[in-house]
Structure 1
Amino acid sequence: MSFARFLRYSTTIGIGGYSAYVLQQNNWDARNIGIVRFGRAAWIVGQVSVDYKFSVSELTDDSEETCEKWSQCHLRSAQRLLKLCSQNGGVFIKVGQHIAALDYLVPKEYVDTLKVLHSRGPRTDLIDIEKVIKEETGKEVNQLFDNFDPEPLGAASLAQVHKATLKTTGETVAVKVQHPNVLRHSVVDMATMEFLFTVVSKIFPSFNFLWLAAETRRNLPFELDFYNEGKNSETMAGILAKFPWLKVPKIYWNLTSKRTLVMEYAEGNFVSDREYFIKAKIDTAELCNRIEQMYSEMIFLSGTVHCDPHPGNILVKKNGRDFNIVLLDHGLLTRLTDEFRETYCCMWMAVLNGNEPEIIRCAKKMGIDLGKEHYAQLLSCMITAKPWSAVKRGLANVPDEKTRNAEVGYDHFLMPLETDHEFLPEFSQKDELRKNASRYFGDISKILATVDRQLLLLMKTNDLIRSIAFTLGNDERRSFLTMTKACYSMLQQKKARESGNSLVKLALQMQSQWFFFKIWVYSLYLWLTWTGPSRKMVA
């Protein structure tokens, strides 16, 4: 046999053998191979880029026809990204969920299309789930559990959860198991995303999503480590122990590893299930109040924040005449520095009181010093999801009926058109989203790329909380009161720590009591005058 023929045969055998190995590692599914996943992502992102370049990039006017063309392009692009996320799964779904949570920062077509990713995660076959459990524990499923429900309770981007019964104690537990290929694919997927986002940002400077790729790369290792999630659960249970109505499921450490998490099984309905609350006569105003108390405690007082409060992670269960809240999925916690918490607290007090100089000062401390004053105004609108007219007036100041009707609503996000602080014209909520989310996306991208990293997850968290409140029909004024109390407490505690004078501390304590009494009186007024859905449910 000639050397050339030997080389040809050996090369063919080598390539064939390696291809078989790669296929075996990907469960004999060619669609899961890294180069295939990269090619799929590159093709779809290329389609999106070409569509924007040749369909709408030259359209800059505000005519109805132009808005419609932009809307259709956004919709086509969102549908392509949904297809990509669904096919590639894992990290891609995680990024799609993040985009879907940015209701007031990206065009509504993306939010409406991608939000299905919160409830439409990929499902892994039971045989593969059992394989992961054996790899992590060294035992078969039937050696650990008397009963293991083959139908998952829920499936998400990184894992799925099954109900089971422990063989040793007979306790009912929830078993969270990581999808088999997620960890292996994550390295290639992150490199793919960073490369494609870099290319897109070079072609379209206004579409800079590199901050999203950077945040995903930073947070993903924590979310893929279920042992870390278990430790986070215990941390959060300790922080929120003051609330008797809150439950964080306990962890069974002997069965927990990096890819499996066994926890106490907790029953309840999703926090978005209004029909259940009507039947159970649960006061949704009080439900929203408790959720906001939880998150105000995390953000303003403890500094450790659960950053994924979408409806699937918050359960509600009737308990006699009361109800309990169950907080799940602690894979992603952010720990805020004291300096950032103080700045963020001051920012909220500034927007509540309409203190524009303080808003600008806080924005600069958060990294927004881009040479234009309106970036600080825009940041305050992004944080609050409110129009600049409302922020400038002060969210704590009660507007007249006409002004309140113009500003109320979760989706009503009006941004400053000019730096001379002129109020925007009043549009419908849908029209305003369509115009402003696209029109100011370049400025929004700059802010997201430069702002303090701690704020990125907080904005996502705040928006998910607002979405829950909007779904339940809560009066947003009560939300502002809850945050005001937490902000005020944090600032007063800081003053007390810095003061070495007992008389000053006593004065601060009396000042706080008087402030909280006024808050209580106003809360009572809101309860007596509120006629929203939550009051009707318990009437």
Structure 2
Amino acid sequence: MSRFLKFSTFAGIGGYTGYVLHQNDWNPRHIGLVRFGVAAYTVSQIAIDYKFSVSKLRDDSMETLEKWSQCHQRSADRLLKLCCTNGGVFIKVGQHIAALDYLVPKEYVNTLKILHSQAPRSKFSDIKKVIEKELGQQIDEIFDEFDEKAIASASLAQVYRAKLRNSNETVAVKVQHPKVFQHSLVDIATMEFLFNVIDRLFPDFSFMWLVNETKRNIPLELDFVNEAKNSEKIAILLKDLPWLKIPHIYWKHTTKRVLMMEFVEGTSITDKEFFISNRMNCQEIANRFENMYGRMIYTYGTVHCDPHPGNVLVKKTGSKDFYLYLLDHGLYTQLTDEFRQNYSAFWLAIFRGDLKQIQERAILMGIDEKDAPLLSCMVTAKPWSAISRGLENRPKDQTVISKEKNELRKNASLYMHNISQILGKVDRQLLLIMKTNDLIRNISHVLGCDERRSLLNMNRYCIQTTSEQRLAQSRNMFQRIIIRLQTRYLYFKLSLYSFYLWMDSWFTYRSSSIKSTLSAIE
């Protein structure tokens, strides 16, 4: 009898295990308990490593910095392995961390940025099932042609090129990975549980802000109807920009898991070599890109929060002109007028190096007065030594800029605990804006844009936003006249500075041309 019971028990366990594996395509990594175990093991390793290796090291000696760097690298490698093993939401979180340049140690950014180009790919047979289930038709009934090779693959979906039946229009079809929604529910719950435990055991290394952002954003990104609505909304808001194109949505063939849109072709906005070889003005490309985001952040408060290079394409039209195509509208944030105006005033205080105003505006965004300088460093990706003298006095000397970057990266390691605490307390609207700003800065940097010109463009939008607020709060005509005169004076100063930058760049160009000519003669 006992043998029969043992046999029955093992047979039952084996049968259930086989059933679970069958339900998950015979892949153990698709089983929630396995995914939880892998995540728990990795997160525990990272937390224990920080706790016992470096948590008590607070000086800035070379030995201490090296130990912190080694611990960061070990942890980043473990996190990368976890993201690649579990996929889905974990890859999305890894990509988010990789975008936080200067907010997290460089070891994380450099290690995890590979996730932007190495997302998992689903088999076409599985993708086909998703399309047919969502649209309620066989794929041949909808399309005359459907290229089975994905033209793009991301953490949550893949994109295919196809031709519609009857109309013969070429379209892009974005299809959600088959298991991603099912896994997301388990993965978010797993992350929340694990980081809650870590938060209690090791409060110095709290990343609950990242969990909360993931919980809020992933469901929105998994809803392609929401993405389609976002794209149409931003197309209306920015309709006066003739060089900006947002792909048209085919609502008849769009559901929560399938998105059909106009097919567009272009070059990634960071392909500087292509632009130079085709005699396209990289500075003008950067200007248009920054102005597009200036409108979104400071004027309308409706912000596309994922401007990585694959989502912004450039297409040449004519001899010199070009279009910008903005893709992937899943991740947006809607800023309140109060936040938008306060954030603009915060930036103006940073431009002037006005510590009192920086502190006052930081308090309004949920940060203590003592942490205001660090917040300004996080927002600007500049060390306090640069902010305290005012960003309007930015040097052109690359040696000084290089020293500032090294100082900032060192501080990102030493003040990791403080940065984490600020990210946990700050106004939630600011989290996605900081990530977006980092991506914008990186693109402008790759295009070779003069940082001073980028700051000048931002300054214009900040002045406009704060002036609108002051006009709305003014009590009489005399006050409004004074405000308008002050605003015009500020714009005049910016115009003079813009002319100075143009002259400076012209003389630099002429000087380099003369040196090149002399070198050729010699």
TM-score (norm 2): 0.92
1:62/1:499 CA distance change after superposition, 3 Å: closer
Match of 2:425? 450
Give the letter for the 1:456 counterpart: L
Match of 1:473? 448
Residue number among 368, 373, 397 corresponding to 1:405 in the alignment: 397
Give the letter for the 1:240 counterpart: L
SS of 1:71's equivalent in the other structure is helix
Match of 2:350? 351
SS of 1:386's equivalent in the other structure is coil
Which digits, 9 at most, give the CA deviation of each residue in 1:241-262, with x for residues without a partner?
Answer: 1211101111000000000000
Match of 1:265? 263
Residue number among 111, 114, 117 corresponding to 1:113 in the alignment: 111
SS of 2:393's equivalent in the other structure is coil
Match of 2:47? 49
1:388 aligns with 2:422: no
Distance 1:87 1:200 in 2: 21
Where do 1:244-393 residues align within 5 Å? Answer: 244-320=242-318, 321-369=320-368, 373-393=369-389
> Would you say the 8 A contact 1:122–1:156 is kept in 2?
yes
Shift of 1:137: 0.4
Distance 1:275 1:532 in 2: 24
Where do 1:19-30 residues align within 5 Å? Answer: 19-30=17-28
Distance 1:122 1:529 in 2: 47
1:494/1:189 CA distance change after superposition, 3 Å: same
More deviation in 433-442 or 336-345? 433-442
Which digits, 9 at most, give the CA deviation of each residue in 1:462-506, with x for residues without a partner?
Answer: 011011111111111111111111111112222333346456545
More deviation in 136-145 or 516-525? 516-525
Distance 1:287 1:536 in 2: 24
RMSD over equivalenced CA pairs, Å: 2.6
1:534/1:55 CA distance change after superposition, 3 Å: farther
Distance 1:497 1:279 in 2: 49
SS of 1:467's equivalent in the other structure is helix
Give the letter for the 1:125 counterpart: K
Give the letter for the 1:350 counterpart: A
Shift of 1:115: 0.5
Shift of 1:393: 1.4
Which digits, 9 at most, give the CA deviation of each residue in 1:30-72, with x for residues without a partner?
Answer: 2210011111111222222333344334444433233223222
> Would you say the 8 A contact 1:474–1:532 is kept in 2?
no
1:435/1:503 CA distance change after superposition, 3 Å: closer
Where do 1:158-169 residues align within 5 Å? Answer: 158-169=156-167
Distance 1:439 1:498 in 2: 43
Match of 2:78? 80
Distance 2:344 2:404 in 1: 28
More deviation in 225-234 or 202-211? 202-211
Which digits, 9 at most, give the CA deviation of each residue in 1:101-125, with x for residues without a partner?
Answer: 1111111111000001111111111
1:191/1:6 CA distance change after superposition, 3 Å: same
Runs (5+) with no aligned partner, structure 1: 410-426
Where do 1:57-72 residues align within 5 Å? Answer: 57-72=55-70
Shift of 1:206: 2.0
Match of 2:468? 493
1:62/1:484 CA distance change after superposition, 3 Å: closer
Give the letter for the 1:324 counterpart: Y
SS of 1:102's equivalent in the other structure is coil
Where do 1:66-145 residues align within 5 Å? Answer: 66-145=64-143
Shift of 1:428: 4.0
> Would you say the 8 A contact 1:22–1:33 is kept in 2?
yes
> Would you say the 8 A contact 1:102–1:111 is kept in 2?
yes
Give the letter for the 1:327 counterpart: L
Distance 1:198 1:462 in 2: 28
Give the letter for the 2:437 counterpart: N
Which digits, 9 at most, give the CA deviation of each residue in 1:149-207, with x for residues without a partner?
Answer: 12211111111111111113111111100001110011110111112212222333221
Distance 1:33 1:382 in 2: 38
Shift of 1:227: 0.5
> Would you say the 8 A contact 1:226–1:257 is kept in 2?
yes
Shift of 1:384: 0.7
> Would you say the 8 A contact 1:225–1:259 is kept in 2?
yes
Give the letter for the 1:259 counterpart: R
> Would you say the 8 A contact 2:383–2:407 is kept in 1?
no
Distance 1:111 1:4 in 2: 57
> Would you say the 8 A contact 2:383–2:408 is kept in 1?
no
Distance 1:439 1:453 in 2: 24
SS of 2:226's equivalent in the other structure is helix
> Would you say the 8 A contact 2:47–2:205 is kept in 1?
no
Residue number among 494, 501, 505 corresponding to 1:530 in the alignment: 505
1:502/1:64 CA distance change after superposition, 3 Å: closer
> Would you say the 8 A contact 1:282–1:538 is kept in 2?
no
Give the letter for the 2:156 counterpart: L
Shift of 1:285: 1.3
Distance 1:314 1:307 in 2: 12
Runs (5+) with no aligned partner, structure 2: 515-522
> Would you say the 8 A contact 1:177–1:261 is kept in 2?
yes
Residue number among 407, 419, 432 corresponding to 2:407 in the alignment: 432
More deviation in 513-522 or 348-357? 513-522
Match of 1:520? 495
Which digits, 9 at most, give the CA deviation of each residue in 1:302-321, with x for residues without a partner?
Answer: 01111111111111111112
Give the letter for the 2:86 counterpart: N
Shift of 1:515: 3.5
Distance 1:503 1:364 in 2: 31
1:155/1:536 CA distance change after superposition, 3 Å: farther
Shift of 1:407: 7.9
Higher helix share: 2
Distance 2:408 2:483 in 1: 43
1:534/1:348 CA distance change after superposition, 3 Å: farther
Distance 1:260 1:135 in 2: 10
Distance 2:235 2:388 in 1: 38
SS of 1:206's equivalent in the other structure is helix
> Would you say the 8 A contact 2:72–2:105 is kept in 1?
yes
> Would you say the 8 A contact 2:69–2:413 is kept in 1?
no
Where do 1:190-205 residues align within 5 Å? Answer: 190-205=188-203
Residue number among 34, 37, 49 corresponding to 2:35 in the alignment: 37
> Would you say the 8 A contact 2:158–2:176 is kept in 1?
yes
Match of 1:206? 204
Give the letter for the 1:495 counterpart: R
SS of 1:396's equivalent in the other structure is helix
Distance 1:179 1:512 in 2: 51
